[in-house]
Chains A and B, each alone.
Chain A
Amino acid sequence: MKVNAVNLTETEYVLPGNRTCPGCALTLAYRHILKALDGQVIVTVPASCLTVLHGMYPITSVNVPCVNTPFASTGASATGLVAGLRATGRKEITVLAMAGDGGTHDIGIQSLSGAAERQEDFIYICYDNEGYMNTGNQRSGSTPLGAITGTTPILGKRQNPKDIAAIMEAHCLPYIATSNSSYPLDLYEKVRKAKEIKGTRFIHVFAPCAPGWQFPYSDTIKIGQLAVETGLVVLYEVENGIFRLTSASESLARKGNLKPVREYLAKQGRFKNIAEEQISQLQDWVNTRWECYIDRATNF
């Protein structure tokens, strides 16, 4: 039976009264990730907004066991949890490593790459809000071209983000997926699928940040959807090397037309200074990527 809002479990692991901002995409994504894992999980979390969501000692807002670990060490911490559980005969518990884009693309990439190369048996989810939001929005390796951040305050970022899912794919993982907090059922299904696979599984989750990107809290879902509709974010999965477009990206590919990126940019304060030239650079980048994905897709 296909999961939908009506039949999706009502058991919640992210509790109300938590510390994240109103309309937080990470909180929404995490809510559905933990539902997909039925709470049967041990989570490791580095410094990030997810640390904020987990709360302040001695109370946590999350109803699953969790260890916090230093920024650079998420992949290694997950490795340690897996090794420790195996050594003590508790093999049935899933280990989830979850970090932001700073903790994944930048400071955490070494320990993640090491763990992935060793094919350690855990799910790694990068929730990507395209910058260091927990420290007040500074540029990361995932910040898009043209975005104003605390460390690109006037000119905006002058480079495209690195493609973390492609980097992880180069590690020959059994399962890689991209998802988006505005498509919680797509996310739920991908985590569910990942749960049943052995080895390092990597899911990249696009997570718009209202205060960092400067849009109204209520628009979190809309911004995430626009990112997909303009092709800036493409939803796909690669299972044992087989590439498939999924959910909204799959139907967009069938329909054949993306919205112009300008529509997405116009709704966010972080792009207020973006130059016309940068917009066309971004549009070219999106178009090229989209064609590559269409070429690779095996499902239409």
Chain B
Amino acid sequence: MRTRDCKHICDESSPAIGEAGKTGEWRSLTPVIHHNKCIPAKQKKQSCFLCWLYCPDAIIKKTIPIQINLEYCKGCGICVQVCPAKAITMA
């Protein structure tokens, strides 16, 4: 193990997803979206997206239907709490 390919003379870091690894592995409960209740899915238009707004880790996509990146979702459950339609549950 040698670090001679590393050209840094001081601590210089570059951005990348998954710095702490697959943080989805930290999760004990997993969020499940019920698209039949989810407002953007039901209305078939850009709306609500509060789960996206409040997710600390930016792992929800503002698509229709919304998508949760379970590879990195830490399972905090904030999305469940902020959903006005009760369209997300933890399982």
A and B in direct contact, judged by CB atoms within 8 A: yes
Chain A residues close to B by CB (< 8 Å): 5-6, 8, 10, 12, 14-25, 27-28, 31, 54-63, 184-185, 210, 216-222
The 7 closest A-B pairs by CB, nearest first: A218-B77, A23-B76, A17-B18, A16-B72, A22-B76, A22-B74, A28-B56
Q: Are A184 and B54 in contact (CB under 8 A)?
A: yes
Q: What is the CA–CA distance of A12 and B62 in the complex, to the nearest angstrom? A: 12
Residues of chain B lying within 8 A (CB to CB) of residue A220: 56, 76, 78
Q: Are A18 and B57 in contact (CB under 8 A)?
A: yes
Residues of chain A lying within 8 A (CB to CB) of residue B62: 6, 10
Which B residues from 44 to 91 make CB contacts under 8 A with A? 46-50, 52-59, 62, 69, 71-72, 74-78, 80-82, 90
Closest Cβ of chain B to A40, distance in Å, is: 15
A17-B71, A18-B57, A218-B90 known; 5 new pairs, CB 8 Å cut-off, are A10-B62, A17-B21, A18-B23, A23-B77, A28-B56
With both beta carbons as reference points, the residue of chain B lying nearest to A26 in the complex is identified as B56
Closest Cβ of chain A to B88, distance in Å, is: 11
Q: Are B56 and A61 in contact (CB under 8 A)?
A: no
Q: Which of B11, B14, B69, B82 contacts A16 (CB 8 A)?
A: B69
Q: Are B46 and A6 in contact (CB under 8 A)?
A: yes
Q: What is the CA–CA distance of A27 and B23 in the complex, to the nearest angstrom? A: 14
Q: How many residues of B contact A (CB 8 A)?
A: 43
Q: Which of A57, A61, A221 contacts B82 (CB 8 A)?
A: A221
Closest Cβ of chain B to A86, distance in Å, is: 24
Q: What is the CA–CA distance of A22 and B81 in the complex, to the nearest angstrom? A: 14
Closest Cβ of chain A to B2, distance in Å, is: 15
Closest Cβ of chain A to B21, distance in Å, is: 7
Residue of A6, A60, A63, A217 with most partner-chain B CB within 10 A: A6
Q: Which of A6, A25, A55, A221 contacts B19 (CB 8 A)?
A: A55
Q: Which of A58, A216, A222 contacts B14 (CB 8 A)?
A: A58
Q: Are B56 and A24 in contact (CB under 8 A)?
A: yes
Chain B residues close to A by CB (< 8 Å): 6, 8, 11-23, 26-27, 46-50, 52-59, 62, 69, 71-72, 74-78, 80-82, 90
Q: What is the CA–CA distance of A63 and B16 in the complex, to the nearest angstrom? A: 8
Residue of A5, A24, A63 with most partner-chain B CB within 10 A: A5
Main secondary structure of the interface of B (DSSP, over half): loop
Closest Cβ of chain B to A218, distance in Å, is: 3
Supposing A60-B14, A184-B53 touch, asked if A18 and B19 sit within 8 A by C-beta, the answer is: yes
Q: Are B78 and A217 in contact (CB under 8 A)?
A: yes
Q: What is the CA–CA distance of A269 and B46 in the complex, to the nearest angstrom? A: 39
Q: What is the CA–CA distance of A59 and B57 in the complex, to the nearest angstrom? A: 17
Closest Cβ of chain A to B9, distance in Å, is: 13
Q: Which of A12, A15, A31, A217 contacts B16 (CB 8 A)?
A: A15
Residues of chain A lying within 8 A (CB to CB) of residue B82: 221
Residues of chain A lying within 8 A (CB to CB) of residue B18: 15-17
Closest Cβ of chain A to B1, distance in Å, is: 15
Residues of chain B lying within 8 A (CB to CB) of residue A14: 57-58
Q: Are A59 and B56 in contact (CB under 8 A)?
A: no
With both beta carbons as reference points, the residue of chain B lying nearest to A35 in the complex is identified as B58
Q: Are B76 and A63 in contact (CB under 8 A)?
A: no
Q: What is the CA–CA distance of A17 and B26 in the complex, to the nearest angstrom? A: 10
Can you list 20 pairs linking A and B with CB atoms under 8 Å apart? A5-B53, A6-B62, A14-B57, A14-B58, A16-B69, A16-B72, A17-B18, A17-B20, A23-B56, A23-B78, A24-B56, A54-B13, A56-B13, A57-B12, A57-B13, A59-B19, A185-B53, A217-B76, A218-B76, A218-B90
Supposing A23-B78, A27-B56, A218-B77 touch, asked if A5 and B20 sit within 8 A by C-beta, the answer is: no
